[in-house]
Structure 1
Amino acid sequence: MAALTYLLWLTTREGLRPETAAALVRRFGTAEAAYFADPGEYELLPLSERLCRSLADKSLERAERILGDCDRLGLTLLTYQDAAYPERLLQLHDFPLVLYVKGRLFRFDEELAVAIVGARECTPYGVAMAGRLGLELARSGALVLSGLAQGIDAAALKGALQGGGPAVSVLAGGVDVVYPRRNQGLYEDVAAAGAILSENPPGTPPEGWRFPIRNRILSGLSAGVAAVEAAEHSGTLITARLALDQNREVFAVPGPADAPMSAGTNGLIARGEAKLIRSAQDILVEYVTRFPHKVRQAPPLSQEGAEARLEAAAEPAPEPVPRPAERNPLPLRPRSELEAMGDEQRAIFALLSGRARVPDEIVGRTEIPARRVNTALTLLQAQGYLNELPGKRFTAAVRFDD
């Protein structure tokens, strides 16, 4: 407990940046050694005068108060010295000395963890794609990470939970501070099924400058980062650059060439910094040989499309042949769900009941503009109503009662 108290003392020094904290424990060996160091030793290091004064303050009162808060809130404290601390984070030059955990303690080094990031003020297309990626990744055995913001973060987390998987949210403030407040329910769901993480003590406000610093943890815990929607100059691109610096795979969802909210993601793809993705399978094929125990253990989203692509990435194999409908009937859903669809979605679903079609054929038969067809297909698939087959063909995944 004493070692932890000294570690909390160090991490709460005023003016201390993550890279400086990591450098100090490397220099002194432990936080305890840094605590008992002579003030003159601090002055020999390239530290600011403000930080030297803070290091000279040996009061442990705040550290002890934080320990009490963690005990009261039922939080787990994970330090860089613990065996369960992710090696992925230790590889960073600015690794967090402490992680506050609400919920499950994951072995991130063994997880196919994918961070989904994007804009708060996103489009319906972005929300649908983030939800679809989260759902498909969770169903395929991956662990989805994100923040807790409105927009892409929330959609990705909701999709992962709907897919039956846990999810992890990395916060800029304390793990007990829900921001924005409207996501209180989502926060509780993520904490119950997965985990909420932060490097900051309970009660820390989510000030704007903390978010870019938080992003290195989000990308650092992940095997890959998927950017869904981002403007030309956005925090999402900061996370993507951090991921590249950390030798993580970066993926990006393309958008219309003239859409401001896709300028950042389209730029990542154009510069060769990110792999273009249209579904979770485009991510999973990159990891199937590294995480076969994770990818293969979960049922794919569709027997035909997802399974064929994942199997092909590991070894040559023929595409599975769909079984006749009478031997493998589609799940039955209440008709009220069909009636709740928009007119265009209902028309597209009817066209795909009993036969697989490509988007161009759907456009020709329904006379619905291609952009709206693609959006409807994404929404219907994210809601589990459609399956995508090889060759970019879509077919009904459910049937509705009479």
Structure 2
Amino acid sequence: MSALKYWVWLSECRGVSNQTRLALLRHFGSPEDVFYADAGEILLTEGITREQVKALEDHNLDKADKILADCQRLSLRILTIQDAEYPGRLQNIYDPPCLLYVKGRLPAIDEEAAVAVVGTRDCTPYGVACAEKLGYGLANGGAVVVSGLAKGIDAAASRGALRAGGVTVGVVGNGLDVHYPYESRYLYEDIAAAGVLLSEYPPGTEPAKNHFPARNRILSGLSLAALVVEAPERSGALITAETALEQGRDVFAVPGPIDAPNSVGCNRLIRDGAGLVSDAWDILREYAGRFPEKLKQDGAKEQPAALGYQARQKAEPKPVPPSLDVHKSSLTDDQLNLLRALDAEEPALVDDLIEQTGIPTRRVLSALTLLEIEQLVTQHSGKRYTRAVTLCE
């Protein structure tokens, strides 16, 4: 634990880039040696600036001690780039994180067919269905699903993988105790229980715009391939695909309608050489020879009984409005005529009711007010009304 505080200190030095941290580690061997080095020694580090040397002269360890205490309180581990457990696949990218905060059980990623699944937050039901189906198929076929846990495609892919009972890895651009988006808080918990959550940001770190491109290099760096499920012309998912290509990873994409805005990015990736994916085996067949004991075609082609989005989309039976016997009611002629003119589902404007019934404006407004008090009509935004009862003539 005493050595870890120097790792945290180095990772939190403001103004010192990750590339500079890596250069310092190559030059000195450990963060502790960097901490105790004088300015003249530090200046010998390749690529370092005097401003960065100045930042490294701040030897206050209070922040590091607090972060370590937070990690202990939250049951988080710190994995450094020099630890044996640190994935070699990630270590070999251009800009690997010096340390990772870990919650859950990190699988031996280098021995797994890990696939990053990414896509737009503003997805369509088609995109959600594909993401859940492919996340399920990848996990059921023996792969590890890596996701950024963002709202939309990322979250749907993780849900699919969890439904298959597979191992999932979530990489986030905030502290592991900060749930972003908030509606994904239960997904965070499920992934920590079934797999692992990773972040290069300490506890308490709120999400920031520049965190997500940095996170993307970890997503693809942990994986053999990146799968883009749904992405418009300008999308963070396309940045992940580009990063994956730079890292020498394979890129796959799900095709969509040629006139669908959310499929423009995917269709272009396929046009430019990305693998076309219609089921999980389209990806896993590429790695079956490397992982013959782990990847299973039958499992990859199996589909969940009902996709999550389909279950959510099923319409709940609408309650039948209470009946109103016209002949036994004490309603006025104006009120009855308005009820007959109103629909139970499609709201009508007051002006339309006036034109349809021929009743003067003042009397229409008065009758509607009384009907609303009696809960026989429902008022909607824009002074529109629907009938709340079934008329029995």
User: Per the shorter chain, which TM-score range?
Assistant: 0.7 to 0.9
1:267 CA drift (Å):
1.2
The equivalent residue for 1:286 is: 286
User: SS where residue 262 of structure 2 aligns?
Assistant: helix
Alignment length (residue pairs): 310
Partners in 2 of 1:161 and 1:56 — Cα distance?
46
The equivalent residue for 1:300 is: 299
1:29 CA drift (Å):
1.9
Partners in 2 of 1:56 and 1:180 — Cα distance?
37
The equivalent residue for 2:363 is: none
User: SS where residue 229 of structure 1 aligns?
Assistant: coil
**Alpha carbons 1:14, 1:50 under 8 Å: kept:** no
Change (3 A) 1:341 1:203: closer
Output one character per residue of 1:273-325: Cα deviation in whole Å (capped at 9) or x when no partner.
x11111101001001001112114x962558xx9xxxxxxxxxxxxxxxxxxx
Partners in 2 of 1:161 and 1:138 — Cα distance?
8
**Alpha carbons 1:171, 1:197 under 8 Å: kept:** yes
1:258 CA drift (Å):
1.9
**Alpha carbons 1:226, 1:251 under 8 Å: kept:** yes
The equivalent residue for 1:13 is: 13
User: SS where residue 294 of structure 2 aligns?
Assistant: helix
Whether 1:26 and 2:26 are equivalent positions in the alignment is: yes
Query: Counterparts in 2 of 1:234-313, with a 5 A limit?
Result: 234-272=235-273, 274-296=274-296, 300=299
The equivalent residue for 1:3 is: 3
User: SS where residue 78 of structure 2 aligns?
Assistant: strand
Query: Counterparts in 2 of 1:144-163, with a 5 A limit?
Result: 144-163=145-164
Stretches of 4+ aligned residues off by more than 6 angstroms? none
State percent identity of aligned pairs: 53
Query: Counterparts in 2 of 1:76-155, with a 5 A limit?
Result: 76-155=77-156
The equivalent residue for 1:58 is: 59
1:170 CA drift (Å):
0.2
Amino acid at match of 1:30: S
Output one character per residue of 1:356-387: Cα deviation in whole Å (capped at 9) or x when no partner.
xxxxxxxxxxxxxxxxxxxxxxxxxxxxxxxx
Change (3 A) 1:47 1:254: same
1:165 CA drift (Å):
1.1
User: SS where residue 2 of structure 1 aligns?
Assistant: coil
**Alpha carbons 2:159, 2:187 under 8 Å: kept:** yes
Please say which of residues 257-266 and 110-119 is displaced more in the overlay. 257-266
1:223 CA drift (Å):
1.1
Partners in 1 of 2:183 and 2:90 — Cα distance?
30
**Alpha carbons 1:20, 1:94 under 8 Å: kept:** no
User: SS where residue 129 of structure 1 aligns?
Assistant: helix
User: SS where residue 92 of structure 1 aligns?
Assistant: coil
The equivalent residue for 1:397 is: none
Please say which of residues 39-48 and 224-233 is displaced more in the overlay. 39-48
1:332 CA drift (Å):
11
1:21 CA drift (Å):
1.6
1:48 CA drift (Å):
4.3
TM-score by length of 2: 0.75
**Alpha carbons 1:114, 1:224 under 8 Å: kept:** yes
**Alpha carbons 1:171, 1:198 under 8 Å: kept:** yes
Tell me how large the CA RMSD over aligned residues is.
2.2
User: SS where residue 71 of structure 1 aligns?
Assistant: helix
User: SS where residue 59 of structure 2 aligns?
Assistant: coil
Partners in 1 of 2:31 and 2:301 — Cα distance?
51
Partners in 1 of 2:99 and 2:300 — Cα distance?
37
Partners in 1 of 2:16 and 2:229 — Cα distance?
33
TM-score by length of 1: 0.73
1:26 CA drift (Å):
1.1
Output one character per residue of 1:140-173: Cα deviation in whole Å (capped at 9) or x when no partner.
1111110111110110011001111121110001
Output one character per residue of 1:168-200: Cα deviation in whole Å (capped at 9) or x when no partner.
110001111110111111111111111110011
> Any stretches of 5+ residues in structure 1 without a counterpart?
307-330, 343-402
Partners in 2 of 1:105 and 1:178 — Cα distance?
20
Partners in 1 of 2:70 and 2:168 — Cα distance?
24
Larger radius of gyration: 2
**Alpha carbons 1:113, 1:142 under 8 Å: kept:** yes
The equivalent residue for 2:332 is: none
**Alpha carbons 2:139, 2:300 under 8 Å: kept:** no
1:2 CA drift (Å):
3.0
Query: Counterparts in 2 of 1:146-225, with a 5 A limit?
Result: 146-225=147-226
